[in-house]
Amino acid sequence: DNQNLRPGRVRQGLAMDLKMRKDLEAIVEFYRDNAPAEQPPSMGNCIWKPTIPEMLWDEIVYFDAWHAIEKKPHEGRVLVAGSGDGRRAAYLNILGYHVTGVELNPELVRRSQALFSELEKIKLVDTSRLTVLDGDFLNDDVYKKSGLSFADFNKIFAYLIPGNFASLARKAESLSKPGTEVYCLWRPTDWAQPETSLELVKRKQMPEVFPYHDFVRYRKN
C-alpha cells in the first residue's frame, strides 16, 4: 500500500506539483502490482535485478530534488541502459523526458512494451516519447535503427554490475557531449569505486534498503 512509499517523508523533497507526485506514486505502485512471477533468465553477464519500489521512489526524489535546487528543468533525451521492464524509463518519461530504453533480453523488451501500453491507457506515460530498443546498449547500430546516436542523449541512467558500467562509462567518455550526465545505482559495500574520467558530481546513500546502494551522478566535462 502507499505507506510503503513513505509519502509523508518524501513528498517534502519533491519540487513538482501534487498531480505529478500522485502520478509518480501511481507508476511505482503499478510496477509493484505488476512484478513478474519469476525472474527472466540471464543473458551472458547481464542479470536483471529489478529496482525495488521503495528504492525507485527514493531515486525519483533525489533526482528531482537535485534539479530543483539547481533550477534545471526536466528536458532532453534520456538513455536507460539495461532498461529491464521499463520502470525507470516510465518515471523519467512522465517527468518530461524523451526516453529510450535499451534492453538485451527480448522477453523484457516485450514486457516493457506491454506495460507501457497499459500505463498509457491510464495516462501515466506518453509512448510517442517513450520507447524500448532490443539490443546491446554498447552497439551503435541499436541506436541507428531509430535514427539516433549515442551522443544524442544528455542523460544516461544505468543499474549495472561494475564491468558493464565501466564499459558504459568508457563509451560516454569517448562519444557523449560535454555536459552529459550519467546516473547509476552503486553497491559501495560490494563494488569498488569505478575508475572513470567522468566527474563525480553527487553521491547519496539510498535509505533503508539492503543491500545498501548509493545513487551516483557523474558528468562529462
CA 76 to CA 55: how far, in whole Å? 24
Better pLDDT: 161 or 6: 161
Say what the pTM is. Answer: 0.91
| 33-92 tens-digit pLDDT | 999 888 777 777 777 888 999 899 999 999 999 999 999 999 999 999 999 999 999 999
Which neighbouring-strand residues pair with 157?
Answer: 80, 183
| 156-196 tens-digit pLDDT | 999 999 999 999 999 999 999 999 999 999 999 899 988 89
Name the nearest CA neighbour of 100 among 138, 58, 52, 152: 152
Q: Which has the minimum average pLDDT: 45-54, 77-86, 130-139, 143-152?
A: 45-54
How is residue 108 written as a grid cell? 523484457
Say if CB 219 and CB 201 are below 8 A apart.
Answer: yes
| 88-126 tens-digit pLDDT | 999 999 999 999 999 999 999 999 999 999 999 999 999
DSSP reduced 3-state for 81: strand
Quote the radius of gyration of the chain (alpha carbons, Å).
16
C-alpha count within 13 angstroms, C-beta hemisphere, residue 132? 26
Tell me which H or E stretch contains 213. Answer: none
Give residue 2's pLDDT: 34
Q: Which residue has 502490482 as its cell numbers?
A: 33
User: In the chain, pLDDT over 90 holds for what percent of residues?
Assistant: 76
Q: Please say if the pLDDT value at position 6 is more than 80.
A: no
Q: Which has the minimum average pLDDT: 76-90, 125-139, 193-207?
A: 193-207
CA 97 to CA 216: how far, in whole Å? 19
Sheet holding 181-186, edge to edge: 130-134, 98-103, 77-81, 155-158, 181-186, 214-219, 199-205
Say if CB 212 and CB 206 are below 8 A apart.
Answer: yes
